[in-house]
Each structure stands twice: as C-alpha cells, then as structure tokens.
Structure 1
C-alpha cells in the first residue's frame, strides 16, 4: 500500500499535466480523419446522412456536390486548428457549430437514428450520440483557452 500512496500523486500530476493535450490530439485526430474521408466519395460511412442533413438545414440551397467537400474542409480545418492550439476559442465555436449539424439527424431523421425510440440506437445513432463526448471534450479544452489548467491537488 505504501507504493500506491507514493505512485498515486505522481500519476495524478502526470494526468493533470498531459490530459488536456491528449484530449486535444484525440479530438483533432477524429476531425482530421473523419473530415478527410469525406473528400473521397463513398469512403465516409456518414456521407449520405451528412449530405441529407445539410440539404434540409440549408433548405436545399447548396448543391449536393458542394456540401460534402465543404463539410470535409470544415472538419479538417477544425482538427488542424485544435492540433495547433491557436485561436482556441474560435475553434471551439466552429466545432460547436459543426456539432449542431452533426446532431441534427436526431430531430430531422429519428427513423435513421433510433431502432426503437427513444432507447435503441442504430449504428448511425451511435455514431451521432458519441458526439456528446466530443462536445464535452471541447468544453473541457475550451476551459484552458485563457491558460487554465487541471489542478491535481485542489484546495
């Protein structure tokens, strides 16, 4: 037990020093990868759902052939900005705007999101609902925009 009481503060301090950075890298990786897939027709499993959601949200003003590359660029840009740790507040705002679109099928296409409303999700629904973790991560990352840090030993 003595070794645990020695290791616990060391591990906790390491997590406090590195947790936000790893969170940034993880979110950046997701946005860059998922966004990049959308540049290649047929590669993203979310392609059809994203295109349909954008069509409804834009009142079909944007041509279908333009929306997916625009979304791909937007997602990769968000990932790169999170990775560089510059303009963090703007980046978090862009991410949250993108998340509104990503989460919109819950309301727009519940028959695609739920196998049995409101508790049994389809694979598309699971893909969408995991974004609550992304939103929470963005909020946590945003809390450090002005130099905030995790404190391993508060008070």
Structure 2
C-alpha cells in the first residue's frame, strides 16, 4: 500500500519520512534475458548460466541497470501523489550497486523522502529508493530519484 500525498505541496513536509516498501519481485532468467535483448548487453555473467555457474557469483546475475530500472516499477507501489495534472521522472542524483542480484533472487524497493522543494508550478522531490535482496546483507541498488509533480 503506497504512502499517499493528497497534493504535491504535501511532499514539502515529508522530508525524512520513510514511505514503506514495494512488493517482492523475483528476478528470473527470462527477465534477465529480455533485458539483455532490449539493451544489447549479452555479457556471459548475465545470459550464460553454464559459464556463470563457474564464475565469481556461482550463477547468472541481473544487470545493474535492470535492477536500477525496477525503481520505475517500485515507486508507484511506494508512494502516490494525488490531484496532479502531471508527474515527471526528472532524473537521478546518485546511483550505487552495492551487491549483485543472483538469478532466482527476490528484490523489493523501499523509499525515503530526501528533499522536496517548490518549483515554478509544482514540487520537486528526491526519493531515495533502496532495492534490497531478500536475505541479503547489502542492498542491490540505491538510487536518489528526482520527480516533479504539478497540481
């Protein structure tokens, strides 16, 4: 269940607020292969289960950018801003990949409002999305996403 903001201006008072978590998503080989096909990144560590089994992770792993792209899936599960005419993904300030995501892992995103400021006609918010691996010691990805919401 997402944290709900009734209007963009409500984000201004949410700095420091943890927004909750998304649903868990399994990272299977089909998802990895489809991402490889979409991006042209067919490195063996991602798409060759036999060779990857003998590699440093013992199996194939998700592309870092596949993991990053899941922020787009997780953000609407974490937060909802109502009474908007438009919401825009404006970019990212910082992205890190502390841990690899082995095939068969489950991941989810958690969010925290890092900053929020008024801009002409709307509000810009930075939400830190931490993508964690179920049972993992370190997150798979930490992203400071920038979104703009207009009433």
The structure whose residues are more often strand, as a share, is: 2
User: Which bracket does the TM-score occupy, shorter chain normalised?
Assistant: under 0.3
Structure with higher Rg: it is: 1
Q: Which has the larger helix fraction?
A: 1
Structure scoring higher RCO (CA < 8 A, sep ≥ 6) equals 2
